[in-house]
Amino acid sequence: MEQAIQIAGALLILAAFVSAQARRLDTSATTYLLLNVLGSGALAYDAAHGRQWGFLLLEGVWALVSLWGLIAKARGRAPSPAH
């Protein structure tokens, strides 16, 4: 089951990344942020369960920053894309 969570989380993050690189999604798009929140959240959960502290730090922060972007966007204060 852990492998399935890891693969699903990684695929969500990679889908967002590939879509952004292919210019199909903007990095401030709701879909991009949601894919990152779900993917990194799943990986953070798995890392916490496995007591992999470095991986938990990486994925936990990734999830929180993505969530922050979603909340800012919902409030109408989404950050503009980097130039």
- How is residue 14 annotated by DSSP? H
Q: Which residue has the tokens 């909340």?
A: 71
- DSSP codes of every residue in 38-82: HHHHHHHHHHHHTT-HHHHHHHHHHHHHHHHHHHHHHTT-PPPPP
- How is residue 83 annotated by DSSP? -
pLDDT tens-digit readout, 7-52: 999 999 999 999 999 999 999 999 999 999 999 999 999 999 999 9
Six-digit token string for 2: 């852990």
**Predicted confidence band of residue 2 (pLDDT cuts 50, 70, 90):** confident
